[in-house]
Amino acid sequence: MGFQHRVMIGLGAVGILAPFVVYPIFLMKALCFALFAAAFNLLVGYVGLLSFGHAMFLGMAGYAAGHAAKVWGLPPELAILFGTAVAAALGLVVGAIAIRRQGIYFAMTTLALAQMVYFFCLQVPFTGGEDGIQAIPRGRMFGFLDLADTLTLYYVVLAIVAAGFLLIYRTIHSPFGQILKAIRENEPRAISLGYRVDHYKLLAFILSAALAGVAGATKAIVFQLASLTDVTWQMSGEVVLMTLLGGLGTVFGPIAGAFIVIALETYLAQMGSWVLVIQGAIFVVCVLTFRRGVVGELARLVNRPL
């Protein structure tokens, strides 16, 4: 069994025992963001595309799932599925436009398109504008898992996030993932080897958007709320921060980064705008002196890829 597999089993065990030690609501929030960050990392870490607008997938999936569960009365599993489908469709459109440019232009394009989605969400009636969609029913998963029970809900969320994470892990280690890495390392060479680079990029983008959608839809069901916060550029920046702090292009980095940032925000919640200052300072410190991130440095310490 490989080292990464053992780490994964260890993390799974911690995940199962954690709600008896730590406040489950906090854990569920951090788990959703961990999946969000891992989906983002799939794109930036393995294809080299920095999306500065990933909040649009998180937020739109949240709205879609919330609408499906509340207005259409769908059960939670279908609501989450619907949210994911909406995020994937949005990913198809945005990806097709954004991958026409690379590097810095790609980042600016995704940011601008995300801002367009934000204004769209602000204006259309079904999102509830500034109020968002409130009191989304949690319902019963598959008809028998009552999500009103916090512990049941926690294990459902853990299972969803673990499944998403395993999918990303499989993708990274598949032949498809190898080609993505080849594109990251040397795009002209990948083209000259006969790969349709744009297809691979678009597929990776849609996959990343869909998984970000899973995170957003699950989050909406957990907190029974879908709001504008999740579509703002600040949220897009936050997922960049989580991934950067945890370690760009590492398997476990986004999880570590998400837990650290969410913990930080929970403890600093009363400090208002200082949160912004601290987040910004972490960005600066990470870029200047800590580019490998927490997990990247750990991997260097134990001399194994993590």
Residues that bind other proteins (CB under 8 A): 50, 52, 97-98, 100-101, 103-105, 107-109, 111-113, 115-116, 119-120, 123, 233, 237, 240, 244, 272-284, 286-288, 291
Alpha-carbon distance 4 to 100, whole Å?
Answer: 35
Minimum separation from the CB atom of position 286 to other proteins (A): 8
Structure-token pair, residue 215: 């995170």
Q: Looking at residue 228, what DSSP letter applies?
A: G
Minimum separation from the CB atom of position 261 to other proteins (A): 13
Minimum separation from the CB atom of position 189 to other proteins (A): 17
109 vs 171 by CB, closer to other proteins? 109
The SS3 assignment for 213 reads helix
Q: Contact 253/295 with Cβ under 8 angstroms? A: yes
96 vs 182 by CB, closer to other proteins? 96
Sorted by sequence, the CB contacts under 8 Å of residue 287 that are 6+ apart come out as: 244
140 vs 292 by CB, closer to other proteins? 292
121 vs 172 by CB, closer to other proteins? 121
Alpha-carbon distance 5 to 39, whole Å?
Answer: 19
19 vs 53 by CB, closer to other proteins? 53
140 vs 184 by CB, closer to other proteins? 184
| Bridge partners, 140 (sequence order) | 146
267 vs 274 by CB, closer to other proteins? 274
| Bridge partners, 226 (sequence order) | 133
Sort strands 145-146 and 140-141 into parallel, antiparallel or unpaired: antiparallel
Minimum separation from the CB atom of position 61 to other proteins (A): 20
Q: DSSP states of 242-275 as a string?
A: HHHHH-TT-SSHHHHHHHHHHHHHHHTGGGTTHH
Minimum separation from the CB atom of position 96 to other proteins (A): 8
Q: Where does residue 303 rank: exposed (0-12), middle (13-18), buried (19+ CB within 10 A)?
A: exposed
In total, the chain counts a number of residues equal to 306
| C-beta neighbour count of 240 within 10 angstroms | 22
Minimum separation from the CB atom of position 99 to other proteins (A): 10
**If residue 141 lies in a helix (H) or strand (E), which one and from where to where?**
strand 140-141
Q: Contact 155/12 with Cβ under 8 angstroms? A: no
Minimum separation from the CB atom of position 73 to other proteins (A): 30
97 vs 163 by CB, closer to other proteins? 97
Structure-token pair, residue 63: 């709205």
φ, ψ (nearest 5 deg) of residue 211: -70, -35
